[in-house]
Amino acid sequence: MNQLGSCREQLLSRAFVGLADTLVTGYDMIDLLDRLVGYSVELLAADAAGIMLVDSLRTLHVVASSHEDADVMELMQLEADQGPCVECFRTQMPVSVPDLADAVGRWPVFVAAVESRGAYRSVHALPLRLRGEAIGAMNLYHRLPGSLPEADLALGQALADVATIGILSERAIRHGEVVTEQLQTALNNRVIIEQAKGVLAQRGNLTMTASFDLLRRYARSRNALLSEVARQVVENDLATDVLAAPAVHSKAAHLQ
Amino acid sequence: MRARVVGSVRMAKLGMVARALLAIARDVDSDYELAEQICEACVLGLDVDGAAISLLTASTSRETMCTTDATAKLLEDLQFTLGEGACMEAAVSGGPVLVPDLHHSIEASRWPIFAAAVMEQSEVGALFAMPLQWGTINLGVLDLYRKAPGSLSDAQLRDAISAANMAALMFLGVRTDPGGGAWLDHSLHGHAEIHQATGMVLVQLGISATDALARMRAYAFVDQRLLSDVAHDVVSRRLCFTPDMV
């Protein structure tokens, strides 16, 4: 095995162990999906990635993103209405768009929005599903056109499956309603995280991405739930503490 | 243009209760009346026997706004008195708490005194508690009960959750919107910037998240702008709230 291959293999095993490690009692679904996004970006050399979960009205919402600034998150949220992500969710099948230029007729609004940001040329979407139940989809953006190799897609799907199995089977012995409860709680936790990003951005004069990195780093270094730290930043004055923690590079923060 | 498409798609997916809520919204001028109409819509549209809404006020105290019958009132009173129960848990956790069979469920062991009291004093078999909530902004809980045990159908559960989400917005609207205009903004859930701006404004003014969102809504209303546009200005630091602003 060459050096590149063995490095990737290490990363791969770290990803699966990392995801499995997150699935302990009382885990934070947003944190799990944030890790999934981080691993996927690294392993599949994506330039951006995001995950959407479905709400009680079957509408998709961005809950994890490799870029926490509005631009990328808005682009992904746009996919709640049209684009590879919502199609992937509806069909529960992967959707590959090797060149977005070829998809203008299919998703005019989405393609125009990507083009206006001038950043990405290809998109791949992988479903979060298990035994016929879809709860969302993961989106991978690349700056260069081209299909992801089959092996990479299979790897991305395997990562997504591990996370989904964890989410769907955690309390599967209990009632079916549990998934709805969990999704609703996760969506609400995402709102709290957004509020906390705002608090930190204002207090520390930071970008939203930097604010999220601080939140994540603070939570992980203390083995605390991301949404609980976020709640305390909003409700109590944990912001001072979080802002006092030294900054780290955002890419590294994903993989801690 | 896009908003209209989204709106119509969502409308088609709305259940009976959510549709009823949209129809009653505008001319209600008190929280009590609003709570009553929401509870009635739930009893009519869902397979439940009774409903109640309790709001959390600024402190940790709660106020029961409406109960559709004596059993619903008993459930609220018990939780108030005992300080535990499905509704209290929903308020704290921020997610719905569903107990399809109170007599045979492990959930009930999380609030043993409440569960025992309910079984002793009523014929309630199933409890469903939906938080009225936006992130950390917790307004209260919509409590539903049924005598016969059993789950809500998927469609009914979705309807109940949507109704709770809309009810949360309505209470926010009634409290903050001076004219009762287009305050039912369906897009609130989808816009991360509104929540980010809420966090920024709460720091700018040194107030709670609930009050910060209320201030932005009032500002948007007076300025005849969309809440999402005001939020965008806050996040991009073109607008900073100061205490002397409206």
pLDDT in tens, B107-124: 778 899 999 999 999 999
Report the C-alpha gap between B196 and A108 in whole angstroms.
Answer: 29
Report the C-alpha gap between A72 and A69 in whole angstroms.
Answer: 6
The answer to whether B197 faces chain A, any CB pair under 8 Å, is: yes
Among the three residues B148, B176, B204, which one is the final residue of a domain in this structure? B176
Check residue B223 and give its pLDDT. 79
Check residue B57 and give its pLDDT. 53
ipTM of the complex, rounded to two decimals: 0.75
Query: Could you tell me the two tokens for B8?
Result: 């119509």
Angstrom CA distances, A51 to A121, A162, B14, B57, B210, stand at 19, 14, 24, 35, 28
Residue identified by tokens 């949507």 is B162
The answer to whether A174 faces chain B, any CB pair under 8 Å, is: yes
Q: Which residue is closest to B165 within chain A, CA to CA?
A: A56
Length of chain B: 246
- Asked if residues B55 and B140 have their Cβ atoms less than 8 Å apart, the reply is yes
Topology (CATH level 3) of domain A187-254: Arc Repressor Mutant, subunit A (1.10.10)
* Window from A8-12, A173-177, A185-189, B225-229 with minimum mean pLDDT: A173-177
Q: Residue B222: name the closest of B184, B187, B188, B178 by CA.
A: B178
Beta bridge partners of A199: none
Stretch A83-99: mean pLDDT? 93
Report the C-alpha gap between A74 and A230 in whole angstroms.
Answer: 21
The answer to whether A73 faces chain B, any CB pair under 8 Å, is: yes
The residue with greater pLDDT, B160 or B166, is: B160
Show residues of chain A in contact with B201, CB under 8 Å: 198
Other beta carbons within 10 angstroms of residue A119's beta carbon come to 16
The residue with greater pLDDT, A65 or B168, is: A65
- Cβ contact B95–A231 (<8 Å): no
Do B38 and B70 fall into the same domain? yes
Q: Residue B221: name the closest of B168, B181, B166 by CA.
A: B181
Q: How many domains in chain B?
A: 2
Kindly tell me if the per-residue pLDDT of B41 is higher than 80.
yes
Size of interface A-B (CB pairs under 8 A): 133
By Cβ distance, the residue of B5, B94, B204 closest to A185 is: B94
The DSSP bridge pattern shows strands B97-99 and A122-130 to be unpaired
Do B209 and B110 fall into the same domain? no
Among the three residues B176, B200, B225, which one is the final residue of a domain in this structure? B176
Check residue A215 and give its pLDDT. 94
All residues at 6 or more sequence positions from B229 whose CB lies less than 8 Å from its CB, including other chains: B220
Do B169 and B196 fall into the same domain? no
- Cβ contact A73–B198 (<8 Å): no
Domain that holds residue B218: 191-235
Give the burial string for B150-187 (b: 16+ CB within 10 Å, else e). ebbeeebbbbbbbbbbbbbbbbbbbebbeeeeebbbbe
Report the C-alpha gap between A208 and A203 in whole angstroms.
Answer: 12
Do B54 and B138 fall into the same domain? yes
All residues at 6 or more sequence positions from A173 whose CB lies less than 8 Å from its CB, including other chains: none
Do B172 and B118 fall into the same domain? yes
Show residues of chain A in contact with B9, CB under 8 Å: 81
CATH of the domain at B163: 3.30.450.40
Residue of B99, B196, B237 to mutate when probing chain A, most A C-beta within 10 A? B196
Q: Return the CATH superfamily for domain A3-173.
A: GAF domain (3.30.450.40)
- Cβ contact A188–B195 (<8 Å): no
Check residue B47 and give its pLDDT. 92
Report the percentage of chain B scoring pLDDT > 90: 34
Q: Report the mean per-residue pLDDT for chain A.
A: 84
Classify the C-alpha dihedral B109-B113-B116-B119 as positive or negative: negative
Residue identified by tokens 């107990």 is B99
Residue of B136, B172, B204 to mutate when probing chain A, most A C-beta within 10 A? B136
Show residues of chain A in contact with B155, CB under 8 Å: none
All residues at 6 or more sequence positions from B75 whose CB lies less than 8 Å from its CB, including other chains: B52, B85, B87, B118, B122, B124, B127, B143, B145
Asked, for residue B186, whether it belongs to a domain, the answer is no
Asked, for residue B131, whether it belongs to a domain, the answer is yes
Do B172 and B196 fall into the same domain? no
Which pLDDT tens digit goes with each residue over A126-162?
A: 999 877 778 899 999 999 999 999 999 999 999 898 8
Residue of A184, A189, A211 to mutate when probing chain B, most B C-beta within 10 A? A184
Report the C-alpha gap between A148 and A98 in whole angstroms.
Answer: 8
Give the burial string for A214-234 (b: 16+ CB within 10 Å, else e). bbbbbbbeeeebbbebbbbbb
Report the C-alpha gap between A101 and A47 in whole angstroms.
Answer: 18
- Cβ contact A234–B193 (<8 Å): no
- Cβ contact B196–A195 (<8 Å): yes
Report the C-alpha gap between B17 and B25 in whole angstroms.
Answer: 12
- Cβ contact A195–B133 (<8 Å): no
Q: Which residue is closest to B235 within chain A, CA to CA?
A: A198
Delimit the domains of chain A by residue range.
3-173, 187-254
- CA A73 to chain CA centroid, Å, is 10
The residue with greater pLDDT, A216 or A19, is: A216
Do B51 and B25 fall into the same domain? yes
Other beta carbons within 10 angstroms of residue A40's beta carbon come to 28
Report the C-alpha gap between A253 and B20 in whole angstroms.
Answer: 46
